[in-house]
Amino acid sequence: MDLNYTESQNQFRLTARRWLAAHVPPAKLPHFDASREGFEAHRAWERSLHDGGWSVVSWPAEYGGRGLDLIEWLIFEEEYYRAGAPGRVNQNGICLLAPTLMEFGTAAQKRRFLPPMAAGEEIWAQAWSEPQAGSDLANIRATVTQDGDALVLNGHKIWSSRAVFADWAFGLFRQPGSERHKGMSLVFFSLNAPGVTINPIRKMDGHVGFAELFLEDVRVPLFNRLGEEGQGWNICMATAGFERGLLLRSPARYQHAAAKLAALYQAHREDADPALAQEVARAWMNAEAYALAIYAMSSRLLAGGKIGAEASTNKIFWSELDIQLYQTALALLGPHAELLPEAPAGAPGDDWLEGYVFALAGPIYAGSNEIQRNIIAERMLGLPR
């Protein structure tokens, strides 16, 4: 891994910085889980990114990208967070489904689904978990049967991110009678299709960030199955690797939070417990360590490597780092923390409480950290089940 940027990469950084400075909305957008209005404001931002050529910089140009590599994607992410740009409402599609679709999809599927995803025209939800199958996806019970050139979906999905306002979902289904890792298929379905019922689930902050989905004889074309019948588990694990290991949580997010935390400490150091200086330093170093690890992983991928079970180590690290950053900020702020969500966007300390509440979910989604530790023990360390 070369720690030095090339002249071309430095120029790319400046170009991205200038565009973001000119186009990032001056006022903070409403949260995309809070209301339809907020969701559509974020969709409009996705379109603006696409129009400028910044929506999916690492995708091939034919699908709306710039054809850049992972290192340049990391550079763009650094500039994106530096500019205080809005959160990406279509990250389930762009960061999870799209890499999987590019690896396993047909040319026709890529042409159909990738361009509108890049443009923000179709926002995607993830429909994997079920009431009896959260982190243990091999226990799903939702079914798929083939009827001529159509697939028929039935079942109950829960904790489906973005599903309240999104347009499409990608879900894991099994052939009736199959068990565990056998007989699964990954299928795309419109959330407006007949037979789909969406029940919002409100989070602690009152936002409808999740939904439960009831599917009753939902018919979709055979075209909407990714890969061959029964390949769903292997395809799903590839998607999980992107979710846990690299694309869902870029290091720039944590570096940006660590920089804000350092500024917060400087603003409160006169009244702060001296021991918190060590916690701030530790959080900052962990954010930098995560960034270096992801740069190393990206370099290995560019050289032809793959994301394996080590994605689980990344998932544990970034989810626990997120909590560490926000816990330290709240310790600095003390009883004043709950007053700060009304602070001007970008001010040191704004949204720390909201961020902490969200961070608490990190060890649960994308596969709970308890499950990730089992994966590390069995697949990386060779320990018995």
Q: Which is nearest to 321 in space by CA: 265, 242, 370, 253?
A: 253
Helix (H, G, I), strand (E, B) or coil at 379: helix
Single-letter amino acid code for the residue at 38: G
Name the residue with tokens 């209301």: 35
Q: What share of the chain is helix, strand, coil (3-state, %, to 5)?
A: 50, 15, 35
Whether residue 190 contacts residue 200, with contact meaning beta carbons closer than 8 Å, is answered with: no
> How does 170-206 read in b/e, with b if 16+ C-beta sit within 10 Å?
bbbbbbeeeeeeebbbbbbbebeeeebebeeeeeeee
Q: Is 39 left (phi over 0), alpha (psi -120 to 50) or beta?
A: alpha
Whether residue 162 contacts residue 213, with contact meaning beta carbons closer than 8 Å, is answered with: no
Number of Cβ atoms within 10 Å of the Cβ of 132: 11
Whether residue 241 contacts residue 308, with contact meaning beta carbons closer than 8 Å, is answered with: yes
**Pairing assessment for the beta strands 124-127 and 196-201 based on DSSP bridges:** unpaired
Name the residue with tokens 């289904």: 173
DSSP 184-198: EEEEEEETTSTTEEE
The Cα 81–Cα 15 span in angstroms is 15
Half-sphere exposure of 155 (CA within 13 A, CB side): 26
Just list the catalytic residues.
243
